[in-house]
Structure 1
Amino acid sequence: MSTLAVDAGRRTVEVARAEKVLFPAGPDAPAVTKADLAAYYREIAPYAVPHLKGRPLMLEMHPDGIGGRPLMRKNVPAHFPDWVHRAELAKEDGTVCHVLADDAPTLVYLAGQGCTTLHRFLSRADRPRHPDLMVFDLDPAGDDFAPVRTAALQLGELLDAVRLPWAPMTSGSRGLHLVVPLDRGSDVDEVRELARAIAETLAARHPDTLTTKARKAERGDRLYLDVMRNGYAQTAVAPWSVRALPGAPVAAPLPPDALHDTSLHPRAFTVRDALAHARTEPWAGLLPARHPRGLRGARSRLDAVR
């Protein structure tokens, strides 16, 4: 197989085995090769990098294609070039050296390594215990997406009531994420506790359809309001990342009014049309937020509306 030289702006990045098929062709979708994935990440970089810059990553790698065994990498492999930015962060028994996808060449290089999906910290490397994002992951019990849209609208109303700005994103898999921008004034434990309190308040309002129970056996057919991604060193799929699923779906930001669209589904956008969607700037004025919010007052307002 050949090596492809990809012009990524400041650098030309070599993609080895460029013809390697990572996503096999399906009934309604052509195959996606390494070269195709690299081209997607090069083109989406102006929209993706603002949501990645300075954030430690966990890399989901599929060097043998999505049908092969995935590799979930936190530590930067020794062979990565020096120009790929890194951040060394503490863990319980030492440190982890994470990749930072700070520019287009890094995104192209990662695609060439078979990295399909970028899972990002909700904080930046300079202050890893002070998140600038809170994330709610709406995880449905089945394949019906209507309950997800309904839950997202209900959660959005509650966030409005406690005066926290928010923006939705398809997961590219089964559900939706609602993302809240923060001012980094609160510790990760405070952020997680408020997220849990918000989710529990919403579940108490709709006990027949929503739950915060982590164990699947306790959920029944209710939608799970997952706030576990708000812990230290936890990650969530990054905007515009490709998911390792047939058709190469993309985690795509949405404007809030898209939640009223009955045709919306979690794999609505793929590598073939995500760039055109990105150019509509679906999070314009929402994220990255010009005026991120602190948590002071949000908890008292939550208590008031319970």
Structure 2
Amino acid sequence: MKVKTVTQKWQAKIFKLGFKMTVRVHNVEISNPRKILFPGSVIRKIDIIKYYEFIAQYILPHLQGRPITMHRFPEGINESNFWQKSAPNYFPDYIERVEVDEDEGTKLYALINNPESLIYIANTASIPLHTWQSRTPKLTLPDQIIWDLDPSDDDFDKVRLGAKLMKAILEELGLHPFLKTTGSKGLHLQVSIKPQYDYDVIKQFSKNVAEFASKEIPQLFTTEIRKNKRGNRIFVDFLRNQYGHTAVSLYSVRPIEGAPVAAPIYWEEIDTLNAQSFNIKNIKQRISAEGDIWKDFYKKPQSITRAIKKLETLYKPILVLKKAS
């Protein structure tokens, strides 16, 4: 269903006269559609929702079955915000839930499995969408690995170089990484894998890769958790790959002025693009011209068994395989 809109001129008149204008997207009633969420770039809630309506067919394959953590900005990106894991009781039935065991007990997480759920969650002013690296019904077995290259300064050329070197390392291990901008500061290298190993194995493997990169190229990479010890090096963040942790989804909007999005890019483009090259406006032209360049991401998941064994020959820490039965 298309958004029912009126021109800005008549919208303003309706508002001044005190009438309530009902806007529905995918049969979801939108509250406060004219609410300005990005004051510097004058981007309204309805603009974000219309973006998610457009991108639904491309983002849903990356969301479906994955527990999400909501990061909500009800008064806009410059005001108070909060994180929310549990799905409230008032969420409609078309938003599926999944029970997740955590240290403090069992929680019900929301799943975004259909366009209506996507629009409803966006209507809560959950601007970015953060997901697990696994999906139902195999929540304990990740089906993707992410290395987040987080720069310590504004030198994006350094991040570009870091991504190329990380790609070379992963390819040496027999893995084919895809590349995406984060919409914030850095780049993500992401690998689609067969859901064979639990989070303990995946976290340790991703950590070993990051530490190997830092050991081989210490002037560029670090795995130092404390920011004040990183200097001007790139933090190779492997921590997204542990149980209960999340990473920003492909095509997610970031709560930064201009509404940049986490976008897929070709490796050949890395020297001409930066972390915020794409936003809710120009990503539409990008998709019209290039299509969904990650459409095959999940079609050929890779086994990491050989990669683990090969890394052991290059790097001393030993990872004991615990393949799922």
TM-score by length of 2: 0.87
- Counterpart residue number, 2:102: 91
- Counterpart residue number, 1:103: 114
Alignment identity in percent? 32
Q: Distance in 1 between matches of 2:138 and 2:181?
A: 27
5 Å-filtered alignment, 1:8-19, equals 8=26, 12-19=27-34
Q: Distance in 2 between matches of 1:285 and 1:39?
A: 22
Shift of 1:278: 3.3
Q: Which moved more, 1:226-235 or 1:272-281?
A: 272-281
Partner SS for 1:192: helix
2:55 is aligned with 1:40: no
- Counterpart residue number, 1:281: 291
2:253 is aligned with 1:242: yes
2:312 is aligned with 1:303: yes
Q: Are the aligned partners of 2:25 and 2:119 in contact in 1 as well (CA < 8 Å)?
A: no
Amino acid at match of 2:38: F
Q: Distance in 1 between matches of 2:266 and 2:214?
A: 24
Q: Distance in 2 between matches of 1:99 and 1:69?
A: 22
Match of 1:126 among 131, 137, 140: 137
Report Cα offsets for 1:167-224 as digits up to 9, x if no partner: 1111111111111111000111111111111111111111111111111122111111
Partner SS for 1:127: coil
Partner SS for 2:256: coil
Q: Distance in 2 between matches of 1:34 and 1:107?
A: 14
Q: Distance in 2 between matches of 1:38 and 1:239?
A: 16
Amino acid at match of 1:299: I
Q: Are residues 48 and 3 of structure 1, via their aligned partners in 2, closer, same or farther at CA, if it must alter by over 3 Å?
A: farther
2:129 is aligned with 1:115: no
Q: Distance in 2 between matches of 1:141 and 1:135?
A: 19
Amino acid at match of 2:291: E
Partner SS for 1:177: strand
Q: Distance in 2 between matches of 1:218 and 1:302?
A: 26
- Counterpart residue number, 1:6: 24
Q: Distance in 2 between matches of 1:154 and 1:18?
A: 44
Q: Distance in 2 between matches of 1:292 and 1:192?
A: 18
Q: Distance in 2 between matches of 1:282 and 1:256?
A: 15
Report Cα offsets for 1:15-37 as digits up to 9, x if no partner: 011110011134xxxx1111111
Q: Distance in 2 between matches of 1:93 and 1:159?
A: 36
Q: Distance in 1 between matches of 2:139 and 2:294?
A: 26
Shift of 1:286: 4.6
- Counterpart residue number, 2:264: 253
2:209 is aligned with 1:198: yes
- Counterpart residue number, 1:137: 148
Shift of 1:73: 0.7
Q: How many residues align?
A: 296
Higher-Rg structure is 2
Q: Are the aligned partners of 1:164 and 1:298 in contact in 2 as well (CA < 8 Å)?
A: yes
Q: Give the gaps of 5 or more residues in structure 1.
A: none
- Counterpart residue number, 2:9: none
Q: Distance in 1 between matches of 2:32 and 2:135?
A: 33
Q: Distance in 1 between matches of 2:193 and 2:273?
A: 27
Partner SS for 2:264: coil
Q: Are residues 285 and 242 of structure 1, via their aligned partners in 2, closer, same or farther at CA, if it must alter by over 3 Å?
A: closer
